[in-house]
Structure 1
């Protein structure tokens, strides 16, 4: 298993703090950060070449160690499928940042304060002009539509405000600075409310409104030194909660599902460069691995990984089917067979008859490692298949993350770094337009794939494992066939089409 093929999961980005902590190493010692860096092989970048063409299928935030500055820097790992079917990864270094809003006329004071306070921790501190969306909204509300010609290009431009942009080496420093500045912003907001509630200060402010230093005159009533006056000018923090990988994608116009020309240099030279190839439209064929498991269960109870076993794992890899049998549960060996519910959904299955559950799991993990799929597909895998496999592997002393690189994140989703996990039930619930009572795999198969799948009463499965193992095998592979072709026909094209306009990972595009 290649070191950079299955790297540690960075978490789902609904929760900004949890996501960036995972990618930044916040709270870890330098030794631990070096150990993690070495383990995932992130310091290796694309060797020098003129240009390489690749289709971007995944991206992940990461850290690199800058040898010149002797410190960690934030970067974005980009995973490509080459135009000849190979795969490669590059890392794009990009400094994280957020904006600090200051009182009008006090921007230079705040800039001086921030430059002095964080001179050893930030990469740069500069003044930038951005559109003030709050003022734009207020202007629209106060004025009638006749003041705005919506046919004019960029008709909302012109209302701008100066912000201080703080750029950092890595997200670790950004989080620390944000936590230090947020109490200041809160204190200043409370002080501003107090001043507005005092009539004498309000009169003084109106009397000096034409003076650019009017805010300074008011502040002088309650501040005794220059440093305090500079701090009082900080009134808000903006865009600090944008996840790092989304920030990079927005700023550099990077989207999954598109072709790029990658021009890379050696480690000592300039960083890798991306050039969009809009003339390349046809998508490559990623390796898709769709699987489903069948488990034992107690009568009238749901399967539990603490006491039940996996008796079958069926999966399809690019239209070729496989079935792994646990002979401790299944009464006889199963020969290779075919399950093709419709002509357009072929299913030829090769069967592995393993002696016990441990050998079944090892066979399953080893096949994933050998194939190195780009996309792992399940149906309700986040809630059932993946946690069940993980717990049964732990029962035998196997770590699923160490074996295949998947583990649960803060949002209870099972993700990996280079490999995408597509749980098709997420698409069904959000995008299929099927009623709530029709979200089961069998119902979805009937509605979307237009055939009647094999159905068995769950209470009969353990009995069939002994009395009619071939019938149970047909049932098991029917779920894998339905999951695979449901993904290929509906989910794959839809998610990667959205990915060309939404600056997120495919995992997030599916689950948001």
Structure 2
């Protein structure tokens, strides 16, 4: 599900199919056997598996154009990718630690690549989706497609929300969303203008408790409707933390913000 901004400033959503995947490095000459074994072992989870060639900086002669054969394993959704990844990670780790002799096809799995790339980043990289570019979005027979409008040179000006959270935490401990909370300070409006072109009047909302604070955040995001969220490590901390704390108060982040 992707948010799109129209030239008049309005927003809409488009759903595009995109299969998540990771790469497996397999012992030379055993790629076909590994493909068959993975399809059989993870039947119903693996959408496709194909042998591809990719640049590998670990190869001594990679600057000469030499590429490594990898097995690209695709899935129907991210949950299935994570399920298979959890099972294969210890297998690959065990294979790396033992001698290089291979007696079983699963012992031929030598490495996993790009299994930790977030889904939305993988989508944007592979389909060359870039913020500020214009696209023609079409939906035919239930299938959505996007085509870059190279003729539109003036960049779009999407609304951007830069955000960060502060939380409680125990001394010398990392914040835990099971019992720590999102907090705010009791402060007044202020102004910070680093450059004349970046005027910075800040309007402060002081809320009574965490539930009211999260509700204010969700309401404000729906009102502002940003097309881009800028965070520091937000994918792995801020968003998951807010999602879990919101659930504690009966709020669903995906329903509130329109994405997950």
Same-fold status (TM-score > 0.5): yes
**SS in structure 2 opposite 1:241?**
coil
**SS in structure 1 opposite 2:98?**
helix
How far 1:177 moved relative to its partner? 1.1
In structure 2, C-alpha distance between the alignment counterparts of 1:97 and 1:377, rounded to whole Å = 25
In structure 2, C-alpha distance between the alignment counterparts of 1:234 and 1:376, rounded to whole Å = 38
Equivalent in the alignment of 1:182: 89
- Counterparts in 2 of 1:277 and 1:344: CA distance versus 1, 3 Å: closer
In structure 2, C-alpha distance between the alignment counterparts of 1:191 and 1:370, rounded to whole Å = 53
Task: Give the 5 Å matches for 1:213-362.
Answer: 219=102, 223=103, 229-265=104-140, 269-284=141-156, 286=158, 310=186, 312-313=188-189
Question: Contact 1:365/1:404 (CA < 8 Å) preserved in 2?
Answer: no
Give the number of the structure with larger relative contact order, counting CA–CA contacts within 8 Å between residues 6 or more apart: 1
Matched, 1:110 2:34: yes
**SS in structure 2 opposite 1:134?**
coil
How far 1:94 moved relative to its partner? 0.6
Matched, 1:98 2:22: yes
Per-residue deviation, residues 405-437 of structure 1 (Å, max 9, x unmatched): 88xxxxxxxxx566xxxxxxxxxxxxxxxxxxx
- Counterparts in 2 of 1:156 and 1:400: CA distance versus 1, 3 Å: farther
Equivalent in the alignment of 1:166: 73
**SS in structure 2 opposite 1:179?**
helix
- Counterparts in 2 of 1:313 and 1:185: CA distance versus 1, 3 Å: same
Equivalent in the alignment of 2:8: 84
How far 1:276 moved relative to its partner? 0.7
- Alignment TM-score, normalising by the size of structure 1: 0.36
- Counterparts in 2 of 1:102 and 1:282: CA distance versus 1, 3 Å: same
How far 1:108 moved relative to its partner? 1.9
- Alignment TM-score, normalising by the size of structure 2: 0.65
Q: Extract unaligned runs of 5+ from structure 1.
A: 1-76, 141-154, 196-218, 224-228, 292-304, 316-339, 407-415, 419-512
Per residue, is there more helix in 1 or in 2? Answer: 1
Task: Give the 5 Å matches for 1:440-459.
Answer: none
Q: Extract unaligned runs of 5+ from structure 2.
A: 164-180
Question: Contact 1:263/1:273 (CA < 8 Å) preserved in 2?
Answer: yes
Q: Which structure has the greater CA radius of gyration?
A: 1
In structure 2, C-alpha distance between the alignment counterparts of 1:310 and 1:250, rounded to whole Å = 41
Equivalent in the alignment of 1:324: none
